[in-house]
């Protein structure tokens, strides 16, 4: 008897859009979502500098009659939608910043924006799909604001800046939003987020219970040598050569000291800066990079060994070296109970055969700061066109997604919201 009652309740809770009367409204919003996405793609802004982006988001939410908060974590925007009936508080999040990447695509709405990043002139591009995330959540906000009678509780629409990391010397992103109380007043009970994927077919959703994305830490290594003429290396101490030895040594922490059958881990040096001309061995070299881990014990071991190894290798070659490792982002962790509870919602909108359970990936997300405070579910939305064989990676000049995949993101957020608050 209990099983029959439970089955009946689930059938009501996870009903389709047609039963909620939302089919047409969601279909009608697609052209707006595409238009918004193209606007944001053509006018990208770097982390903590998303001023025009925030203005457009806030104006849209205000036009829907929401209570709107601006200036959270510098440029963050929050819209609060209260349903007609009391209930829990749900948050939906989209990240809004772009990257210092010069676009190489030949789109009619390609970005030609230029800016300055880390003291260098750069192009600016939505090379990770955050433009689609903004547009999707704006569409969700419009649909749900017209259907408050179907909402038991409150929804917070969180448009978050600086997911890619705040500029040097600044705070930012999800961590700062949490610090400034974005999950309070009213207190959030759960949060959902998504990320479009250039290599994942449109019409699909990918998820994983537990850790789905890695913890990420940035590090900086400074090697101090002794400057000399390039013709007389024996009279100096070469920090470039020593940097190469350090890079080589760091990789052995992964290949020879990390139990990769437990979880994956990656150390990447992304930039090395040293010297001014060909015939001078410089005095100093600086390196920056990232550490990606999916297990906190492994993270502790890797941090410890890097801190031991870097000065030791430098000392072996008569130099001195220091390493600074940032706290970074936590593991993006999907609450197992919440994931199991909401899986039927994802299967309802995409089809059971189009929702995939995946292995964890070594990318990172500061959505993890929200998940440290409240139960969260983060999933991936397909953005790869069925007509293309090559998918360009995120954070590259050729990154591109198929806009036909965005409507499923709207459907997923709407379904999750109604099911979570009404179940």
* Active-site annotation, residues: 329, 403
User: What is the reported pLDDT for 7?
Assistant: 39
> Residues 6 or more apart from 352 whose CB is under 8 A from it?
none
- Nearest partner of 323 among 312, 336, 338, judged by Cα: 312
**Which residue stretches of the chain have pLDDT < 50?**
1-14
User: What is the reported pLDDT for 18?
Assistant: 53
- Domain 215-325 belongs to what architecture? 2-Layer Sandwich (3.30)
List beta partners, residue 274.
285
Task: CATH number for 2-213+331-422: choose from 3.40.630.10, 3.40.50.1860, 1.20.1090.10, 1.10.3720.10.
Answer: 3.40.630.10
Distances (CA, A) of 406 to 166, 178, 195, 217: 27, 27, 10, 30
Q: What are the pLDDT digits (tens) for 306-330?
A: 999 999 999 999 999 999 999 999 9
Packing angle of the helix pair 406-422, 130-145 (nearest 10 deg): 50
Q: What are the pLDDT digits (tens) for 79-102?
A: 999 999 999 999 999 999 999 999
CB 130 within 8 A of CB 95: yes
User: What is the reported pLDDT for 118?
Assistant: 87
User: What is the reported pLDDT for 22?
Assistant: 87
Q: What residue ranges do the domains of the chain occupy?
A: 2-213+331-422, 215-325
Query: By three-state DSSP, how is residue 6 classified?
Result: helix
Identical fold, 2-213+331-422 and 215-325: no
CB 140 within 8 A of CB 30: no
Instruction: Compute CA 277 distance to the chain's CA centroid, rounded to the nearest angstrom.
Output: 38
Place of tokens 């390493």: 323
């Amino acid at each position: 008897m209990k099983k029959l009652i439970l089955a009946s309740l689930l059938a009501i809770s996870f009903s389709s859009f047609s039963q909620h009367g939302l089919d047409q409204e969601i279909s009608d919003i697609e052209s707006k979502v595409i238009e918004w996405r193209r606007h944001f793609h053509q006018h990208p802004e770097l982390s903590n500098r998303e001023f025009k982006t925030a203005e457009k988001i806030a104006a849209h939410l205000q036009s829907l009659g929401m209570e709107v908060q601006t200036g959270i974590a510098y440029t963050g925007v929050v819209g609060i939608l209260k349903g007609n009936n009391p209930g829990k508080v749900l948050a939906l999040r989209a990240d809004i910043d772009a990257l210092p990447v010069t676009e190489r695509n030949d789109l009619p709405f390609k970005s030609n924006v230029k800016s300055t990043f880390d003291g260098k002139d750069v192009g600016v591009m939505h090379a990770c799909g955050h433009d689609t995330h903004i547009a999707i959540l704006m569409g969700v906000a419009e649909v749900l604001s017209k259907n408050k009678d179907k909402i038991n509780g409150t929804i917070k629409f969180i448009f978050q800046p600086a997911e890619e990391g705040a500029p040097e010397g600044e705070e930012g992103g999800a961590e700062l939003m949490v610090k400034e109380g974005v999950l309070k007043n009213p207190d959030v009970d759960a949060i959902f987020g998504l990320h479009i994927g250039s290599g994942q077919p449109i019409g699909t959703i990918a998820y994983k219970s537990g850790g789905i994305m890695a913890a990420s830490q940035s590090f900086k290594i400074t090697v101090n040598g002794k400057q000399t003429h390039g013709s007389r290396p024996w009279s100096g101490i070469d920090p470039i050569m020593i940097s190469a030895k350090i890079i080589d040594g760091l990789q052995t922490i992964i290949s020879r000291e990390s139990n990769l059958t437990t979880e994956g881990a990656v150390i990447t040096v992304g930039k090395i800066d040293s010297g001014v001309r060909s015939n001078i061995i410089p005095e100093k070299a600086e390196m920056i990079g990232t550490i990606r881990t999916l297990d906190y014990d492994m993270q502790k071991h890797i941090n410890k060994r890097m801190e031991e190894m870097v000065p030791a290798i430098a000392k072996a070659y008569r130099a001195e070296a220091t390493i600074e490792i940032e706290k970074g982002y936590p593991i993006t962790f999907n609450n197992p109970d919440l994931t199991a509870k909401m899986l039927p919602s994802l299967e309802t909108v995409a089809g059971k055969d189009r929702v995939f359970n995946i292995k964890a990936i070594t990318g990172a997300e500061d959505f993890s700061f929200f998940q440290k405070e409240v139960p969260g579910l983060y999933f991936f939305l397909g953005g790869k066109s069925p007509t293309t064989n090559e998918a360009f990676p995120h954070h590259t000049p050729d990154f591109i997604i198929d806009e036909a995949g965005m409507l499923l993101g709207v459907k997923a957020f709407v379904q999750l919201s109604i099911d979570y608050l009404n179940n």
